[in-house]
Structure 1
Amino acid sequence: MPTDPLAWETRDRDVAYSCPGFDVINESVRLPDGTETDFDYVSEPASVCILPFTPDGDVVCIDEWRQAVSRVNRGLPVGGTEPDDDDLEAAARRELAEETGHEADHLEALVTVEPANGFADSVMHFFVAHGCRPTAEQELDHNESIRSQTVGFDELLEALREGAIRDGRTVLALSYYQLFAADAGE
Structure 2
Amino acid sequence: MRWQVNSEQSLHADQWLDLRQADVELPDGRHLDHRLVRLAPAAGAVVVDDRRRVLLIWRHRFITDSWGWEVPMGRIEAGEEPVVAAAREVEEETGWRPGPLRPLLRTEPNNGITDSVHHVFRADGAVRVGPPADEWEAARVDWVPLTDVRRLIGEGDIVGGTTLAALLYVLTEV
Show structure 2 runs of 5+ residues with no match: none
Post-superposition shift, 1:145? 4.3
Q: Deviations over 1:122-165 (max 9, x none)?
A: 11112111111211321239x73442111222123332244432
Question: What aligned pairs does 1:20-99 form with structure 2 within 5 A after superposition?
Answer: 20-85=15-80, 87-99=81-93
Give the aligned residue type for 2:8. R
Quote the sequence identity (%): 27
4+ residue runs of structure 1 moved beyond 3 angstroms? Answer: 143-146, 161-164
Contact 2:57 2:138 survives alignment (8 Å): no
How big is each residue's C-alpha offset from its partner over 1:82-103, in whole Å with a ceiling of 9 and x where there is no partner? 1141x11101101101100111
Task: Give the length in aligned residue pairs.
Answer: 174
**Uncovered stretches (5+) of structure 1, i.e. residues with no partner:** 1-5
Aligned: 1:148 with 2:141: yes
TM-score (norm 2): 0.89
Q: 1:18 aligns with which of 13, 16, 39?
A: 13
Question: Which of the pair has more CA radius of gyration?
Answer: 1
| Structure 2: distance between partners of 1:8 and 1:51 | 35
Structure 1 vs Structure 2 CA RMSD:
2.0
Q: Deviations over 1:60-83 (max 9, x none)?
A: 110111001213221111111111
Residue identity matched to 2:70: G
